[in-house]
Amino acid sequence: MLRAVYKWVDERLDVTPIWRDVADHEVPEHVNPAHHFSAFIYCFGGLTFFVVMIQILSGMFLAMYYVPDIINAHASVKYLQTEVAMGTIVRGMHHWGASVAIVMLFLHTLRVFFTGSYKNPREFNWIVGVLIFFMMLGLGFTGYLLPWDNKAYFATKVGIQIAESVPFIGSYLATFLQGGDMVGATTIPRFYALHVFFLPAGLLGLLATHFILIRRQGISGPL
Amino acid sequence: MAHNQDGNQKQVHYVGDSRVRVNSKEMLPPDYSQFPGKTEQFFPDFLLKEWMVAAVFLVGFMTLVMAESPPLGDIADPTNTGFLPVPDWYFLFLYQLLKYKWAAGPFISIGIIVVPGLLFGGLMLAPFLDTSKERRPLKRPATTWIAILSLLGVIGLTWAAEAEHVIQVSSSSGTPAKDKKIVAEQDKGYELYKKNACIKCHGDKLQGVQGPPLLGVGDRTKGEDEKLTRKDIEHIIDNGRGAMPAGMFQGSEADKQVLLNWLMQQKQK
């Protein structure tokens, strides 16, 4: 039955090459922890992606309750955390996941750096990777404000002051981030939009590029 | 329709009736036969094993999530001048860097453009700066050393920021009281307070002289969201803290408890 359905779809859409392309590639021995335990360092990239998936899923659930305005933001997070079933766990996953994602990303960067995997012909993918790092930092910065507690508010204020001290473009940058001339009612929706639409869209685009390039170029050889 | 299967080799093949050429070349991954050893099919062999790594990771992660519920402080209060701002840990190095004199004020461009620019610019352009074919870290010492030193720098700055923050939190004088009245002025605790040296530094009306005001110590937060507890105050009285010397209370243990009771009654809000 399943086979028949697959065949029906495949005849029309020719899906076999698409998934075959993902599935059919060889994993060389030197990156396979089953053969060399030390090859676990090659898992960091995959684990980063795994955490990003956790972030996206838990974030989608948080968005069901979160209200991005100065009056309700804090109350909605509090409600989510104290009243909603599993609320603490979902918020916990998103909160700790943010830190774990940065750690994993950092370890992955170190692995690529110290194995010299960024070298010819993979220069471009290295740059894409660094851009992914910036996106993740941006996600961390914008997400920190959203619970709208004192910690969030004052940290963001300091962050924006730092942005403001950039020569020439600083004041524009600060106005853009705040949506005005102070951290307040216009800042939360702005950070929220950046956090759930702009930056994730950029991140997913970069991740897609990252993975397509890996499939094109293959993983770097043994040292 | 341009789509044709009549075996005319010369004719360009298009996908359906579009102008997209049929790509007859399969997108073959690079061949690993150059790496001798036990290569493995990604799907399903390797993926089935990789699940184990993900599962172990997930168990560890969920344990962390269950053990530590995510913090949520009081709602943001822009008038709270006593609050010590602290960014998330991965921004601490930058935050700390900008506290140094040579990277702040008139030299702000050093702290905000030059150093981060070198750090992130260097990271981004690594493939173009280190163009040798050599991949082993020990065989390209310059790159490796620069990386290790920058890494140590970032870790050191983060560590310094954290250490400084801990000190600041423990010596911040909490939120200043809005209401300026002593609670329970007739209490024996106030007598003890006046008899001891406390009054010289914290003032006859608890307003603070050389030390911070003690109005409202009863429900004061220390730094972030933690309450200053009775135990904390007792510890401060016994051992001193910062500019406050130890052993300022002269009297019996029972009297000290009376004083503590009275201090804990100082709640203004």
Domains of chain B by residue range: 9-18+25-67, 89-171, 188-264
CB under 8 Å to A109, separation ≥6 — which residues? A129, A133, B123
Q: How confident is the model at residue B1 (pLDDT cuts 50, 70, 90)?
A: very low
ipTM above 0.90, yes or no: no
Least confident of A173-187, A189-203, B27-41: B27-41
pTM of the model: 0.76
CB atoms within 10 A of CB A47: 23
B75 to A95: CB separation less than 8 angstroms, yes or no: no
Q: Is the pLDDT of residue B68 over 80?
A: yes
Q: Which pLDDT does position B172 carry in this prediction?
A: 59
Class of domain A42-217: mainly alpha
> What confidence tier does B4 reach under pLDDT thresholds 50, 70, 90?
very low
Angstrom distance (rounded) from CA A187 to CA A144 = 12
Chain A nearest-CA residue for B49: A34
What pLDDT shows up at residue B215? 81
Q: What is the pLDDT of residues B120-138, one digit of tens each?
A: 999 999 999 999 989 999 9
| Residue of B21 and A16 predicted with greater confidence | A16
Using alpha carbons only, how large is chain A's radius of gyration in Å?
21
pLDDT at res. A97: 97
State the Cα–Cα distance between residues A22 and A20, nearest whole angstrom: 5
pLDDT at A78: 94
Residue B264 pLDDT > 80, yes or no?
A: yes
In angstroms, how far apart are the furthest CA atoms of chain B? 109
pLDDT band at B2 (very low <50, low <70, confident <90, very high): very low
- Look at residue B86 in the predicted model and tell me its pLDDT: 87
Q: Does domain B188-264 have CATH number 3.40.50.300?
A: no
A50 chain-B contacts, CB cut-off 8 A:
54, 57-58
What is residue A96's predicted lDDT score, i.e. its pLDDT? 96
Most confident stretch, A49-53, B138-142, B245-249: A49-53
- List the beta bridge partners of residue A26: B41
Cβ separation of A167 and B137 shorter than 8 Å? no
Rounded Cα–Cα distance for residues B58 and B38 (Å): 28
Percent pLDDT > 90 in chain B is 26
**Facing B87 at nearest CB: one of A29, A159, A221:** A159
- B196/B59: higher pLDDT: B59
* pLDDT reading at B177 higher than 60: no
Contacts of A120 in chain B (CB under 8 A): 127, 131, 133
Residue of A nearest to B75 (CA): A149
What's the confidence (pLDDT) of residue B267? 79
- Min CA distance, A1 vs chain B (Å)? 22
Condensed to tens digits (0 to 9), the pLDDT of residues A98-135 reads 999 999 999 999 999 999 999 988 999 999 999 999 99
B89 with A127: Cβ contact below 8 A: no
What per-residue confidence (pLDDT) applies to B27?
53
Q: What is the mean pLDDT of residues B33-50?
A: 78
Q: Judging by DSSP bridges, how do beta strands B221-222 and B226-227 pair with one another?
A: antiparallel
Residue B175 pLDDT greater than 80, yes or no: no
Distance from C-alpha of A112 to C-alpha of B98, rounded to nearest angstrom: 29
Q: How many residues does chain A have?
A: 223
Is pLDDT of B205 > 60? yes
Rounded Cα gap, residues B231 and B236, in angstroms: 9
Averaged pLDDT of chain A: 92
**A26 membership: H or E segment, kind and range:** strand A26-27
Q: What is the number of alpha carbons within 13 Å of residue B163 lying toward its C-beta?
A: 6
Least trusted range by pLDDT, from A65-79, B68-82, B141-155: B68-82
Nearest CA in chain A to B126: A118
The most confident of A80-94, B44-58, B230-244, B245-259, by mean pLDDT = A80-94
CA distance B23 to chain A (A): 12
Cα B148 to Cα B137: distance, rounded to the nearest angstrom: 11
Taking CB atoms and an 8 Å limit, are B88 and A98 in contact across chains?
yes
Looking at residue B14, the DSSP 8-state letter turns out to be B
**A35 φ/ψ sector (left φ>0, alpha ψ -120 to 50, else beta):** alpha
* pLDDT-above-70 percentage for chain A: 100
Please give the residue that has the higher pLDDT: either B15 or A209: A209
The ranges assigned to domains in chain A are 42-217
Q: What percent of chain B has pLDDT over 70?
A: 80
**Architecture label for domain B89-171:** Orthogonal Bundle (1.10)
